[in-house]
A and B are shown apart, each in its own frame.
Chain A
Amino acid sequence: MFRHGSRFLTRATTTMKWRRPFSTDLPAESVADSNFIEAWRKVVPNVEPPKTPSAFMAARPATPSSIPSKLTVNFVLPYSSELSGKEVDMVIIPATTGQMGVLPGHVATIAELKPGVLSVHEGNDVTKYFVSGGFAFVHANSFADIIAVEAVPLDRIDANLVQKGLAEFTQKLGTASTDVEKAEAQIGVDVHSALNAALTG
């Protein structure tokens, strides 16, 4: 019986270590949630507490100690999830400060997007989307979330219409009188010139 004792002992310690490397890695969510539920039960005991969004979401893994080889990307639009939990090598994000390449192990970042090309590199395959704007979050655990209001694969854009739109908005910008009109025309020009640059470049 005791012959196996050491084996059990080592196994117990290794499994524990596997489950949570440090005591500080305890999930923080459950604590606050139970606060809410307790407070709720005290004030309104006869109504079930409502669910909160975290109940419907798979928890994100903790930051691994070594940098993983792949980046996990979620790319969502209001009407679809283009990529969900896809493992890729690199994404290039059109941030307002310039193009931003994101590799696994990138420093945690919040970036605003401008109209431009988002490219997803997976081995030798490169998928390019034109996004209209939104936000991108890069987390320390090599997860990247990209939220855009509108995105289309680059090969579905008609170059002629882009040229036409660009000319139209440039003309509008010239004739605009009020600030609002000017701003609207400026946005149109920006989007179309970004589209133009994406198609030609």
Chain B
Amino acid sequence: MAMAALRREGRRFATPLISPNPTNALRSSLIPSQEPVSSGVRCISTQVVRNRMKSVKNIQKITKAMKMVAASKLRAIQTKTENSRGLWQPFTALLGDTPSVDVKKNVIVTISSDKGLCGGINSTSVKISRAIHKLNSGPEKENKYVVLGEKAKAQLLRDSKKDIELIMTELQKNPLNYTQVSVIADDILKNVEFDALRIVYNKFQSVVAFLPTMSTVLSPEVVEREAEAGGKLGELDSYEVEGAETKAEVLQNLAEFQFSCVMFNAVLENACSEQGARMSAMDSSSRNAGDMLDRLTLTYNRTRQASITTELIEIISGASALEG
């Protein structure tokens, strides 16, 4: 008796020194076997697991449905996008591709989606837009954002609110068409002063691959200046211009038309990438839900079986005790 009391006292003094977690040590001394619940302990409620399984199953149903919707939308928009790819090529052939042009007023047109759950395409275009902003910033330079779509708006409002010139959302309420996009382009042209427009979007390559892309549209004055300075647009001077009275007028029309055409393709490409990204994101999340469901089912069955076994043992041992 005295020995036992001494031992207990000794442990009380020693425990803070021996183990960093005294309560745990105490509990381990009181409850000798503390193993994972699955090994023959009845106390876990199968009800909790069953509820969890039900909710995971519902989530899986939703993500599967969203994947189906995205797939069917993707098919419709993909043909449209591929058909519109010819539209910007003549402009690039004529006016060249000028990402490195150095101008005063840069306007970055960031194209994003209105809805989420579509992977990283929106944050990619925001990241690229910020990088372009940083790349073109300097003394006596102005950088402005024009934001299309809810998601980029949410991200850009946080840190560059003062630079945002124009925000447009709900692009895709109706199926995209050229008229609608050219109205948007017209709005941008009317409300924003620019020397160069940088259109940032995700180009659709395949259902799982999107290429962040920047198209540059120069204002007519800059086109004329660059053409006179030679360099990449130097060839433009050799073209005969037919149409309006002056060359500047034609260049103005040309720049506006180019912007609407490039925008049309960009908006379609981004919408297509969005659907593709959503499809693959939803695919992987329904696969994840399936995996989780498998694991939960296994736990559930094991618990159930364990409780049955324990009950059987109790009955048998009770019976044998009566017999004996």
Of listed B93, B96, B128, B244, residue having the most chain A CB within 10 A? B93
Q: Is B127 an interface residue (CB 8 A)?
A: yes
Produce 1/0 per residue, A109-142, CB < 8 A to B: 1111000000000000000000000110101100
How many residues of A are counted as interface, with CB atoms below 8 angstroms from the partner's CB atoms?
48
Question: Do residues A80 and B211 form an inter-chain contact, with CB atoms below 8 A?
Answer: no
| A145 adjacent to B242 (CB under 8 Å) | no
B22 interfacial contact with A, CB 8 Å? no
Q: A44-B135, A135-B254 are in contact. Are A50 and B128 (CB under 8 A)?
A: yes
Q: Does B116 touch A at the CB level, under 8 Å?
A: no
Q: In the docked arrangement, what's the CA distance between A32 and B233, Å?
A: 11
In contact, B261 and A147 (Cβ under 8 angstroms) = yes
The interface size bin for chain B is 35 or more
Q: Does A84 reach chain B (CB closer than 8 Å)?
A: yes
Determine whether B315 belongs to the interface, using a CB cutoff of 8 Å to chain A. no
Whether A47 contacts B240 by the Cβ 8 Å rule is no
| A57 touching B89 in the complex, CB below 8 Å, given contacts A40-B131, A137-B94 | yes
- B261 and A78 within 8 A (CB): yes
* A47 CB contact (under 8 Å) in B127, B177, B200, B216: B127
- Cβ of B84 under 8 Å from chain A: yes
Q: Determine if B278 is an interface residue (Cβ-Cβ < 8 Å).
A: no
Contact of B88 among A47, A53, A140 (CB under 8 A): A53
Flag B188-207 by CB within 8 Å of A: 1 or 0 each: 00000000000010010000
Decide if A29 touches B86 in the complex (CB within 8 Å): no
A112 to B239, CA, bound (A): 13
Say whether A149 contacts B232, CB under 8 Å.
Answer: no
Among B85, B97, B211, B253, the residue within 8 A (CB) of A33 is: B97
Q: Which residues of A contact B213 (CB under 8 A)?
A: 50-53, 56
Q: Of A94-102, A161-169, A182-190, which stretch is located at the interface? A: A94-102
In the complex, the chain B residue whose C-beta lies closest to that of A146 is B90
- The contact string, 1 if C-beta is below 8 Å from chain A, for chain B 210-241, is 01111110000000000000011000001111
Distance between Cα atoms of A145 and B258 in the complex (Å): 13
Identify which of B83, B135, B232 contacts A32 (C-beta below 8 A): B232
